[in-house]
Structure 1
Amino acid sequence: MDQNNTEQGFQQSSPVHHSILWRIILYFALASIALSIAASIITVLWHYEQQTESFQQRLEDIRLSYSESLGSSLWFYDEIQIRSQVKGIMNLQAISYVRVTDNLNINIENGKRPHHSDIDTLPISFNGKDIGVLEIAFDRDAVIAEASRAAITTLIALLVSLALLATMLGIIVHRLINRRISEMAGQVNERVTANRYAPLSIDSDGKHDEIDILISAFNELSQQMNDQLQQKTAAQQQLKTINIELEDRVKERTQNLQKTVDELNQTLEELHSAQNKLIEAEKLSSLGGMVAGIAHEINTPLGLCITIHSYINDHYVAVRKTFEQGEMRNQDFVEFIGMMEESLAILDKNLQRAAHLIKSFKQVSEDQTGEHIRRFNLLDYINEILETLSPKFKQNKHRVEVDCSDNLWMETFAGSISQVITNLIMNSLLHGFEHIEEGIIRIQAAEERGNIVIRYSDTGCGLSAEAKAKIFEPFYTTKRGQGGTGLGMHLVYNIVSQRLNGEIQIDNSESGAAFRMVLPKVTEEKPEHA
């Protein structure tokens, strides 16, 4: 295929009308014609300039020769003499128009009057007084015609000489270059057609010019190509044998690799399943801890309610007995009413507290167990989350500060927000405040370009360089062997990036740890199959 392309390329580059000889002659002829035309134009312009200077000299001669005689004739009104002098001026070379006028009624002219711009005017004076005007016009067309004839003659002579020179140049170029290149091209074409690279058989003229150098270079190239062709043939045969062996080896290794890939895929599926189970266990563990805390928190107001109920019941029995015996006094009834009001107030306060705790826990637990998108006030929801985590803060002096607008809302998975904030708070309590008595957690939220930006920070011990690099990796924990699974922050990362379609990253902080989350204000629920 390469050989055919080479032959076609050579055949396409060898038509006669693309010959170097004819191109040299053509370029020489075009350059010669251009130079001849330029020389002719310069000759015409130069000749015209010389004639113009000659006209000016003639005007000066006419002024010196005819001024005095024309002045005398015009002064004495010798019209015959004036006409004779006008005719004499007309007989001068290249004069086409002459006119003599005075200030009165003499007006003698000869020739066709040209445009006023081509007329030269000379004053006629007598005894120092101007008495008339001599107007003279030269025949510029005749001058240009004469210059053109001279230029054409020069051009013809130049073209004839250049044609002879081009013929001689063509003969020399053909003998020294074109003939030898054509012969070399024919031999190259013959070798390409025969698919052999033998040296050229063109005889050198012994002058070692560029053609001889080209022939020598081609012969060296032919020898190299013959050697390379033999090496290529041997290499192709060897390569064919290696390819057969390689195909068999690749086939065998492909089968082994496919078996390994299948085993890895199965292992990966098992790991994913185990990871999902661990994450679900982490979520249930978090929810279980929340249940235990809420149960303990609700136990206090309910215990007070039971005590108050027993207290009220004892007073009620005593008052009823007094009443039935008819021994009840007005003072006893007033004291009973006061006790009832105080007891009912305590009952109402504790029952409201229990109801509020149950409501907060119910909302948060429903969000975590039954995920769905709903619209909620962010500040109120954060407070509900903190309410469910309040038992964790009764055991220490840590506190939470929330900086969030009371009209900031979101429409997303509320349970996912609860899981993220809960895990971050638990991380601060377990790791950040491990050796700190009074820690501060700050939760800041604001709207920015249609997104909700939440910054979570604490004043704890902060994160090490290793923790900053690996904190979102699964199973990474600093509490290995102490109950830490290493899935809390990994769960946070997955919820933010996948469930909420947001971003979470470690933020700069002067002390403690800080995280910055950017979440869509409105989350679009993905289809079930996605």
Structure 2
Amino acid sequence: MPDSKLRLPPEAVKKQHSLVWRIILYFALSSITLSVIVGMVLATWNYHRQTEAFQSRLDYIEAGYTESLGSSLWFYDETQIHTQVKGIMNLEDISYVRVTDNLNLDIETGTRPHHQDIKTIELVYKNKPLGNLQVAFDRQAVLTEASQTAIMMIIAQLASLLLLTSLLVFVVHRLITSRIRDMALEVNERIDSNSSEALSIPESAVHDEIDILIHAFNTLSEKMNNELKQKTRAQQQLKQVNSELEDRVEERTQSLQTTIDELNHALKALNKTQGKLIEAEKLSALGGMVAGISHEINTPLGLCITIHSYIDDHYQQLKSGFDSGQITKQDFSDFVAIMDESLGIMDKNLQRAAHLIKSFKQVSEDQTGEHIRDFSVKDYLNEILETLSPKFKKTRHQVHIDCSEHMRMSTYPGAISQVMTNLLMNSLIHGFENKEQGNINILIAEEKGNAVIRYSDDGKGLNEEAKQKIFDPFYTTKRGQGGTGLGMHLVYNIVNQRLQGDITIEKDCGCEGACFRLIIPKKLDVSDS
């Protein structure tokens, strides 16, 4: 066993035998488990062997006693029956015998066991059943014998185990733990002295695993000494490099800070410019709408002025005739007919102008205002189309709206107007470029409290780059031709932020041109807006 007088660190004193005891514990547990298993197997085997022996004796009883017992029952020789029962009881491991006939004979000896352990043999004489012979063996005695045999086997194995364990402790201590302890002592001394010298423990002649470990440690110590020398030289060089690097870092830091300040200033200016461009995009769309509506209103107003001049000319003629007394009934009838026709034309054109002004006023107020209101979706889309009618009158492109008359929304109508106006103008400018006619389909349905808008055209569509970048700011295919690249970026921001919805490109929508899917809450939560 280890020498307790040797000085060891506290941790080593507590665990100096841990390896030995773990080996012994594992060995003992394995041996005990194996012994128990072997004992149980042996007991089971003995029990089955005794059971088979009982079956053999049962066959012997059936062959040797059933005929004579049947004859005794036939002649009702009770003395002979008692003698035969006693003979059966004298057989090994037989604990119970009973003979009964079909009348009232019942001879029983021994302790009656559970009915499942009783074997019944029919007694026959001259092919005539006369009674039964019941036999049972002493199961408890068999179990006791098998258990005692197993226990003796386990005790013998445990004794062997104790002897083998003692030998194992001696061998492990002699060959392993004492040498590991000596290594640990020297390693601790080198740790205390901060030394990397090789171990003084000599290697044995057999060159076992402990010797390999000692050799590896000595090799590692030599390598560490070499690395320590190199590290000392490297630290000296690193110290010099660090000094030079600190000067460079300070210089670069000042330069970087200056650059960061310039970039921050440029970023603020860029954000400010972007905001102005977005506002300009809104005003540009509104300005284009104003120009188109102005031109559209000029037509009915011009007709009204022409009709007014026409009426005035005929009125002056009628007045001159009246003053001179030359007016006739036919002249007055013609003037009344002219007035009816002219007033009808004026009324139709003034109604047209008033309707255009009303649509423009509602849409422009929505675009410049920031108010939530409840509105009919289909009627509002028609008002937006009215404001864009000057653009579509110049082409043969058609807009088809598929929406329920009863569908309503409570949100920012101006935001809806800006989104739809940008989409429609994009189709005209980009989708239908070099195409004289085309169709735009706007399908609106309700789904889980949201308005799902599917906007598509049969224009030239979007290439892969446009599908990836169409919502990016300043991306346009009309660079240098008046395009700012903010239209679809503005649409994306309005849908996602202002309307709290989502807009995506449908890649497999079944149409030739562009296709967008918008999901917008029907009723905007004011607290979240």
Q: TM-score range by the shorter chain?
A: 0.7 to 0.9
Cα distance, 1:321 vs structure 2: 4.8
Residues 68 and 125, structure 1, Cα contact 8 Å, conserved in 2: no
Cα distance, 1:358 vs structure 2: 1.9
For 1:98 and 1:172, how far apart are their aligned partners in 2?
Answer: 61
Task: Report what 1:176 is aligned to.
Answer: 175
Task: Report what 1:446 is aligned to.
Answer: 444
Residue deviations 1:269-319, cap 9 Å, x none? 222323333343344344334333333332332233233333333433444
TM-score with structure 2 setting the length: 0.75
Task: Report what 1:402 is aligned to.
Answer: 400
Q: Map 1:342-421 to 2 at 5 A.
A: 342-394=341-393, 396-405=394-403, 406-421=405-420
Residue deviations 1:381-429, cap 9 Å, x none? 23323323333344x3423322232333333333333334434444454
Q: 3-state DSSP class of the match of 1:15? A: helix
Structure with larger Rg: 1
Cα distance, 1:499 vs structure 2: 3.6
Task: Report what 2:221 is aligned to.
Answer: 222
User: Residue type matched to 1:451 in 2?
Assistant: A
For 1:114 and 1:441, how far apart are their aligned partners in 2?
Answer: 104
Q: Map 1:272-291 to 2 at 5 A.
A: 272-291=271-290
Residues 72 and 126, structure 1, Cα contact 8 Å, conserved in 2: no
Q: 3-state DSSP class of the match of 1:264? A: helix
Task: Report what 1:455 is aligned to.
Answer: 455
Task: Report what 1:293 is aligned to.
Answer: 292
For 1:66 and 1:464, how far apart are their aligned partners in 2?
Answer: 105
Cα distance, 1:268 vs structure 2: 2.1
For 1:281 and 1:447, how far apart are their aligned partners in 2?
Answer: 32
Q: In structure 2, do the counterparts of structure 1 residues 158 and 413 end up closer, same or farther at CA, with 3 Å as the change threshold?
A: closer
TM-score with structure 1 setting the length: 0.75
User: Residue type matched to 2:368 in 1?
Assistant: T
Cα distance, 1:203 vs structure 2: 3.0
For 1:381 and 1:474, how far apart are their aligned partners in 2?
Answer: 28
Q: 3-state DSSP class of the match of 1:200? A: coil
User: Residue type matched to 1:210 in 2?
Assistant: E
Residues 432 and 512, structure 1, Cα contact 8 Å, conserved in 2: yes
Q: In structure 2, do the counterparts of structure 1 residues 412 and 209 end up closer, same or farther at CA, with 3 Å as the change threshold?
A: same
Bigger shift: 59-68 or 358-367? 59-68
Residue deviations 1:444-494, cap 9 Å, x none? 1312531331414254x5556665565555555555555555544444444
Residues 70 and 85, structure 1, Cα contact 8 Å, conserved in 2: no
RMSD, aligned α-carbons: 4.8
Unaligned runs of 5+ in 1: 1-9
| Percent identity over paired residues | 55
Q: Map 1:69-88 to 2 at 5 A.
A: none
Residues 376 and 409, structure 2, Cα contact 8 Å, conserved in 1: yes
Q: In structure 2, do the counterparts of structure 1 residues 15 and 349 end up closer, same or farther at CA, with 3 Å as the change threshold?
A: same
Residues 400 and 440, structure 1, Cα contact 8 Å, conserved in 2: yes
Q: 3-state DSSP class of the match of 2:342? A: helix
Task: Report what 1:3 is aligned to.
Answer: none
User: Residue type matched to 1:452 in 2?
Assistant: V
Cα distance, 1:183 vs structure 2: 2.5
Unaligned runs of 5+ in 2: 1-8
For 1:465 and 1:334, how far apart are their aligned partners in 2?
Answer: 70
Cα distance, 1:149 vs structure 2: 6.1
Bigger shift: 289-298 or 130-139? 130-139
User: Residue type matched to 2:196 in 1?
Assistant: Y
Residues 82 and 107, structure 2, Cα contact 8 Å, conserved in 1: yes
Residues 457 and 511, structure 2, Cα contact 8 Å, conserved in 1: no
Residue deviations 1:37-63, cap 9 Å, x none? 555556666666469738955995998
Task: Report what 1:341 is aligned to.
Answer: 340
Q: In structure 2, do the counterparts of structure 1 residues 486 and 171 end up closer, same or farther at CA, with 3 Å as the change threshold?
A: closer
User: Residue type matched to 2:222 in 1?
Assistant: Q
User: Residue type matched to 1:388 in 2?
Assistant: T
For 1:16 and 1:206, how far apart are their aligned partners in 2?
Answer: 29
User: Residue type matched to 1:301 in 2?
Assistant: P
Q: Map 1:180-199 to 2 at 5 A.
A: 180-199=179-198
Q: In structure 2, do the counterparts of structure 1 residues 60 and 441 end up closer, same or farther at CA, with 3 Å as the change threshold?
A: closer
Task: Report what 2:5 is aligned to.
Answer: none
For 1:320 and 1:42, how far apart are their aligned partners in 2?
Answer: 140
Bigger shift: 193-202 or 25-34? 25-34
Cα distance, 1:354 vs structure 2: 1.9
Cα distance, 1:217 vs structure 2: 2.0
Residues 452 and 517, structure 2, Cα contact 8 Å, conserved in 1: no
Q: In structure 2, do the counterparts of structure 1 residues 251 and 95 end up closer, same or farther at CA, with 3 Å as the change threshold?
A: same
Cα distance, 1:348 vs structure 2: 1.2
Q: In structure 2, do the counterparts of structure 1 residues 327 and 242 end up closer, same or farther at CA, with 3 Å as the change threshold?
A: same
Task: Report what 1:206 is aligned to.
Answer: 205
User: Residue type matched to 1:445 in 2?
Assistant: L
